[in-house]
Amino acid sequence: MGNMKCLIVSSTLVTFFLTPSLVLMNTIDSHPLDGSFGSQIIHVNALRGMVSIRDNNVLSEWDGILDYKNDLLAAKLYSKMVCVLAKMDQAIFPALKEISKALDWQELQHYPATRGLTYTVLPTRVKNLAQYGIPVKDLCRDVPTYFAQQQREGAALAIDPNSCFAVQLLSFMGLSICGEIPGL
Whole-angstrom distance, CA of residue 121 vs CA of residue 128 = 17
Whole-angstrom distance, CA of residue 50 vs CA of residue 45 = 5
Whether 64 maps to a domain, the answer reads yes
Whether 15 maps to a domain, the answer reads no
Q: Can you give the pLDDT at residue 63?
A: 94
Q: Name the residue range of residue 172's domain.
A: 27-178
Please state, for a pLDDT cut of 90, what percent of the chain lies above it: 31
Q: How many domains, the chain?
A: 1
Whether 136 maps to a domain, the answer reads yes
Residue 64 in this model has a pLDDT that exceeds 80: yes
Whether 22 maps to a domain, the answer reads no
Q: Which residues contact 110 (CB under 8 A, 6 or more apart)?
A: none
CB 150 within 8 A of CB 89: yes
Choose between 152 and 127: higher pLDDT. 127
Q: Can you give the pLDDT at residue 157?
A: 54
Q: Can you give the pLDDT at residue 69?
A: 94
CB 113 within 8 A of CB 121: no
Whether 18 maps to a domain, the answer reads no
Whether 74 maps to a domain, the answer reads yes
Whether 12 maps to a domain, the answer reads no
Q: Which pTM was predicted?
A: 0.73
Whether 17 maps to a domain, the answer reads no
Q: Can you give the pLDDT at residue 25?
A: 45
Q: Can you give the pLDDT at residue 143?
A: 94
Whole-angstrom distance, CA of residue 63 vs CA of residue 60 = 10
